[in-house]
Chains A and B, each alone.
With several copies, the nearest count.
Chain A
């Protein structure tokens, strides 16, 4: 199979959707510029015209509302927010309106809106350009939330999001744009709500979200070298999330680490840890560990950024704790 980068896979999904479905268009801030979407939307304006790749004024709320209105009127828009932080200016159309529309009118009107938000962290950008607030949206009934970590899922989940009759929040992470992997050329869907088993294992379950799913895979390799056989689940969908796969795995291994690129308190990791703790109550042999951002805004300086962002080493360390293995030397240092 071909290999594509994560950004290329997102671009291809857009291109194929635009080519195959006249109802699809993209609207939002930064579509025509390399600053905002990286290569994930490159030249789509030239390929499909600026009329279907609508780069808007700096008006997050109206752009999102416009997209929702078009969706209610039968289109399949993707509204683009180059940083999740900016999307917070559009909470009314997303949370009050899109999420509730089907329910409020007892299913008479569909809101097939895709909201795409990019997590764009690090690079000394600081508190207002780095936020990963997926947990806020995971909380909202009526929304679906997906966070792919591989090129394959990046393409398949975007297509699934467009096909879904409900509002879907699609969150990609710039830190994954360069990651490569096999991606079929044809259009395909990755089912929303199903996790992916990235590695079978028997000692501990690592549940990863988005970038942290990729880190969990790395952590599992490290752990394998120490004789720890980790099972790795990439959640892919946050709402609904694949309780079945996660719970079964935790019941099997008796240990779990949840790795989330968001903040800790009341984050996605809390939901997953709470459910594992309840549903695998008998089988768990250690408390569920959560590896998350600390409860602090993003700093800017490189030294503080390094201290701030967790990664594979932290996941491995948490896995060792569930197994009561001694901390690794680096971690101890």
Chain B
């Protein structure tokens, strides 16, 4: 639970990050329902503590890598709200220039070199970035966020071997939300032991309550410490649950995925409500204003995104190749 050793300010910062993600994704859900957002959107509502807890353990120069469900990673690492909304609306001012939509987000200035929706695809890329940091002797860590389904892809296992062998400063964050699209984990494997995924390569594995931002933070901080100390990779299984469906705004109950019971249990374990309860135990005031402030921020970003222009069709062939490499 929420440890007493954390300052109110620290807890407030996590609450704020999680609430920003939650409210932004709720806004996106509405955009999807209205047909305003047309690209496939995978919402992580309910999983906010993982992104917020991990990114709290990182510096701006560390990189994070994600997949199809990465709005939270992007925002927690410091990506701009307006860039996210504009991207989802296919606008030129989007964080990927309107070329990616929800599933392809970038914010190089805060260490997001790209999230992409091929399952497990960015896992070796994160390890490769870590390889670069190690080679250059930089004090940086790469974080790979992936789902429980991604552990079914062979490339992930190859990458764990390489990460262990080269003692790479990479952290594997498995967001185990129990489902890979419509399939429960028990339909995809025989054991509920994802924290053991790296054991074959002697990668330390931790299992934490992914709805407890402090637990996630502490595990990530320990892993980052090992990475920075040259002790190599770690894996953290964060057990959590996505409230919404695999894709889009609905709750999956419409498509025959039987998870109504689970869902209500997990909603009771709302990661934001838990921090909020801790804050109210400390008699922190003004939470409503804080939430209203976040909502104004979101509203402002959304309106700016709406006003932004679409990419002109005439430039559809641009950026296939680059003339000169981007400074990095």
A residues contacting B by CB (< 8 A) are: 25, 30, 32-36, 51-52, 54-75, 77, 85-86, 89, 92-93, 96-97, 101-110, 112, 123-129, 141-142, 144, 165-166, 294-297, 299-304, 306-308
A35 to B181, Cβ gap below 8 A? yes
Say how far A19's CB is from chain B's closest CB, in angstroms.
16
B310 to A301, Cβ gap below 8 A? yes
Which of B100, B159, B188, B247 gathers most chain A CB within 10 Å?
B100
Provide the residues of chain A in CB contact with B106, threshold 8 Å. Answer: 105, 108-109
A34 to B255, Cβ gap below 8 A? yes
Identify the closest chain A residue to B87 (Cβ): A300
Given contacts A57-B183, A72-B129, A106-B99, 13 further A-B contacts (CB under 8 A): A62-B158, A73-B142, A89-B153, A92-B155, A108-B97, A124-B38, A124-B40, A126-B103, A299-B99, A300-B90, A301-B90, A304-B90, A304-B98
B97 to A105, Cβ gap below 8 A? yes
Provide the residues of chain B in CB contact with A34, threshold 8 Å. Answer: 255
Say how far B137's CB is from chain A's closest CB, in angstroms.
11
B125 to A72, Cβ gap below 8 A? yes
Provide the residues of chain A in CB contact with B161, threshold 8 Å. Answer: 57, 59, 62
Provide the residues of chain A in CB contact with B119, threshold 8 Å. Answer: 58
From B116, B182, B189, B314, A307 is in contact (CB under 8 Å) with B314
Cβ of B177 within 8 Å of any chain A Cβ, yes or no, is: no
Say how far A36's CB is from chain B's closest CB, in angstroms.
8
From B63, B117, B317, B322, A110 is in contact (CB under 8 Å) with B322
Provide the residues of chain A in CB contact with B71, threshold 8 Å. Answer: none
B98 to A106, Cβ gap below 8 A? yes
Provide the residues of chain B in CB contact with A89, threshold 8 Å. Answer: 118, 153, 155
From B99, B126, B255, B320, A142 is in contact (CB under 8 Å) with B320
Cβ of B261 within 8 Å of any chain A Cβ, yes or no, is: no
Cβ of B311 within 8 Å of any chain A Cβ, yes or no, is: yes
A166 to B322, Cβ gap below 8 A? yes
From A25, A59, A66, A101, B152 is in contact (CB under 8 Å) with A59
* Contacts A/B (CB < 8 Å), 7 sampled: A62-B124, A68-B124, A69-B129, A102-B320, A166-B321, A295-B320, A296-B316
| Interface size counted on chain B using CB atoms at 8 A | 78
Provide the residues of chain A in CB contact with B117, threshold 8 Å. Answer: 128-129
From B100, B131, B181, A30 is in contact (CB under 8 Å) with B181
Say how far B324's CB is from chain A's closest CB, in angstroms.
6
Cα–Cα, bound, A141→B97 (Å)? 19
A304 and B311 in contact (CB under 8 A), knowing A104-B116, A105-B104, A109-B108?
yes
Say how far A68's CB is from chain B's closest CB, in angstroms.
6
User: Which 8 pairs, one residue from A and one from B, show the smallest C-beta to C-beta distance?
Assistant: A69-B128, A106-B97, A65-B124, A301-B90, A62-B158, A69-B125, A307-B313, A165-B325
